[in-house]
Amino acid sequence: MNDKELSAAVVNLILGDGQVTPKAVQTTAVELIRAGRLVSERKADGTLTVRCTPERGDMPPLSAPQELVMERVRHRCRGGVDRVPMDALGPGDGAEYWTWWQSFEQSVCDEALALGLTQPGRVKSRILIVWGSAAGAWLGFMLACFALDRRVFAVAVNLTIACLVVAMLRSRPRRSGPWLTAAGRRAARRWRNNPDASAAAEHRLPARQVGATGPESALPVRGPLRIWSSYKNAWHVVDTAPLDAPRWGRVWNVVLIAPVACAVTIVLALAVPLPFGVALGASPVLVGALLSAFWLPAHRRFRAVPAEMTFRGAVISVWNYRTHYDDPPTIVTHYCCSVEHLASGKAWSFEVNQSSRLMFSPDPNPSLKDQFRVGDVVDVHCSPRRRKMHRISVVEAVPR
């Protein structure tokens, strides 16, 4: 097959060395625009939006990745909007995206495998057979060396240690995804050296992609993120605060700073011959300098976050994560969401519910997973400063 006949998602896979990246969603959408399945429009602020076109009988059939991107566009256009920004097709809305992403990624891998550009990843049974055969051959070689001569056996042991060290230094991280075949590597090389600069730039992978390293990298878990929202029938970007409240800037930090500053002062007084009065006066000066330079700005940011709020907003991201306990062996599922506060242009992330179950037992509350969906309008009484949700209720629910 000619390189120009490869779909945009397959090109993304071979340029990603066998892994599909979130950029494949945008390049597939551009491919659908050229095919007439989507219509694009650039807003005054430069945002590129797309919408679906009516079905016609003369349209060619879509591939599985293209059909899934069309489904993604229709899904994001619910709730009173007829267009969706291109960037909003990527990760950000949480569990709904990652459920869709698994199907999209698998469809791209299947298409590349059918074209002979990739081969299946490592199979556990095959790995066990190869390593078992290698271990048996090595054991037989070592026994033969031991039976031949002790000095030969010592040389064989040294060679084995040297080979293990070299293998550890040259080892690459394992992965379970597909691997490029020789044809796939040649196609990737041709695309990287494509003389058509516009085509090469369209498929070039960015240095950093949100969500490329896993679900948490596209969720407001550890750090703030900017997430697209269609609340009030208008697309806009919302600054979303992380789930974890900042630990630095609290009042109890002062209790930790003061002993550390006193200990540093004592060490300096012992290391450098200073009068007792100078060392005693340096301690509060050092504490004050640390507080004003590091703690006070963080404390001001912490106090700027509202302590209590009651508002009506929209859910813009939903996800869950699990924690484990050993005594007794228990799995706790934490259900979280980010709620937009339209007046401030910000969103706050909270844990809204949790469910615990014994290990290897079924989930007792499977309905909690669908308790909130992206686009639900909710009434909230919360503490953004403490990331504490007091009450949340659905006012307008999107179709389930």
pLDDT exceeds 60 at position 272? yes
| pLDDT confidence tier of residue 44, bands split at 50, 70 and 90 | confident
Number of residues that this document lists for the chain: 400
The amino acid present at 80, given as its one-letter code, is G
Q: What is the pLDDT of residue 276?
A: 60
pLDDT recorded at residue 125: 64
* 256, pLDDT greater than 90: no
Tell me yes or no: is domain 225-241+306-396 CATH 2.40.50.660: yes
Q: What is the pLDDT of residues 279-296, one digit of tens each?
A: 666 667 777 777 788 888
pLDDT at residue 156 in the model: 86
Residue 135 has a CB neighbour count (10 Å cut-off) of: 10
Contact (CB, 8 A) for 257 and 274: no
Mean pLDDT of the chain: 85
CB proximity list for 181: less than 8 A, separation 6 or greater: 116, 117, 118, 119
pLDDT at 321 over 80: yes
Helix (H) or strand (E) holding 71: helix 64-76
> In a 3-state reduction of DSSP, which class is residue 30?
helix
Domain ranges of the chain: 3-120+180-205, 124-170, 225-241+306-396, 252-304
Looking at residue 378, what is its pLDDT? 95
Question: Which region holds residue 93: left if phi is over 0, alpha if psi is between -120 and 50, else beta?
Answer: alpha
Q: What is the pLDDT of residue 328?
A: 81
